[in-house]
Each structure stands twice: as C-alpha cells, then as structure tokens.
Amino acid sequence: MKTMLSFVAVTSVLFFVTGLACAQETSGVSRVFLMDTSKSGPTVTQMPDVQWVKYDSLKTGIDSKGAHLATLYSVPNSNIQLAALKIEKGGYIALHTGPGTYPMYVAAGKGRATFKDGNKLEYKAGDVIVYMPNHYHTHENIGDEELLIVFTRILPLIK
C-alpha cells in the first residue's frame, strides 16, 4: 500500500509536469525524465522520446477522429503506466470502456464526456477525472485548441 501511495504522489506531480511539457510541444513529442537514487546519489535519466500513435478505429474497434495516444512511462514489473491522450479541435473518441482505473488530468483544452446513459460532463484544463473499471464513456474536444489529457492506466493484474 505504501508503494501505491508513493506512486500516486509521484504521478500527481508527473501529471502536472508532463502535462505542461506535452502542451508546450507543437510536434506532439515531449521529454520524460526518470528521477531515482542510486548508491552514489541522485540520478536523472532521460527516457526515449515519446511516440504518439494515431487512435486507429480499425485496430481498436472504436470510432475516432483526430485522436492520438502515447505511453509516457511504464512502471517496471507492474500493471501501471503513465499515458497521454491528444484530441484535435473537433475530434473525438466514441463510446468505449477499459478494464482498469484511469485517473486523468486535463492538461490543456476543453472536452466533454458522454456516458452510456446519456449523461454528459464538460471538463477543462486543470480538472481531474477518474474512470473506474468498465465505465462506458466518450471523449470529445469541444474547445478551440487541442485537448490534452495525461492519465495513469492502472490495469488488472493478469495471473
């Protein structure tokens, strides 16, 4: 539990810092740094450049327009990843769900989530949204700029 709480604290900082870094990069590629401590003291490692992948409806089975995903960091030997979602102005991801818990920080832009029952939630930069497992939702960019969401994927452990 202590490890999970530490990860949540670190992730909160990463949401803010990584979100700002991603928002400032017009190419969609940002830098990720791993801060650690070794026997000789603190270490800083720059991770490989982030690769944005177009959200492909043919591969996912979910309709989308102008959406891109990136895995920013995968915690070694765990089921936890830090990731980001970019949706262009006017873009969207249709109704979908995921097996894990997804705490999300809206780093830039304005969006709307529509839920399976038709309820809607508008969100903007600075908001935090947490999707619990198997919760059906959409994402739609309703603002005048790119929508950027930085989030943690906490996926079920496969035994």
Instruction: Record the pTM.
Output: 0.74
Is residue 8 pLDDT above 80, yes or no?
no
Compute the distance between CA of residue 70 and CA of residue 54 in angstroms, rounded to an integer: 9
- The per-residue pLDDT for range 27-57, each reduced to its tens digit, is 444 778 888 888 888 888 887 777 777 766 6
Report the chain's C-alpha Rg in angstroms.
Answer: 16
**Cα four-point dihedral sign 41, 29, 154, 132:** positive
Domains of the chain: 2-154 (2.60.120.10)
Strand partners, 41: 38
Q: How many CB atoms lie within 10 A of CB 154?
A: 21
Exposure letters 82-102 (e unless 16+ CB within 10 A, then b) = bbbbbbeeebbbbeeebebbb
Written as six digits, the tokens of 9 are 């604290």
Lowest mean pLDDT among 58-72, 101-115, 120-134, 137-151: 58-72
7: helix, strand or coil: helix
Q: What is the pLDDT of residues 118-144, one digit of tens each?
A: 999 999 999 999 999 999 999 999 999
